[in-house]
Amino acid sequence: MSWFGSWFADPIDEYAIAFERQMAEIGRPVRIGEKRRSDERQRELYAQGRTLPGPIVTWTLHSAHVSGRAFDFDFVSALDQVCKGGGLYVYTVLTLSPICPQNDAPFRG
What pLDDT was estimated at residue 86? 47
Mean pLDDT of 32-55: 93
Total domain count, the chain: 1
What pLDDT was estimated at residue 57? 86
Q: Are 60 and 46 in contact (CB under 8 A)?
A: yes
- Residue 53 CA to residue 97 CA, distance in Å, equals 35
Mean pLDDT of 30-45: 92
Mean pLDDT of the chain: 74
Phi, psi for 34 (deg, rounded to 5): -70, 145
- Asked if residue 2 is part of any domain, the answer here is no
- Asked if residue 77 is part of any domain, the answer here is yes
Q: Is 65 exposed, middle or buried, given 0-12, 13-18 or 19+ CB atoms closer than 10 A? A: buried
Mean pLDDT of 51-75: 89
- Asked if residue 3 is part of any domain, the answer here is no
What pLDDT was estimated at residue 49? 93
Where residue 65 sits, what CATH number does that domain have? 3.30.1380.10
- Residue 81 CA to residue 107 CA, distance in Å, equals 21
Mean pLDDT of 48-58: 91
Percent of the chain topping pLDDT 90: 34
User: Domain range holding 60?
Assistant: 12-95
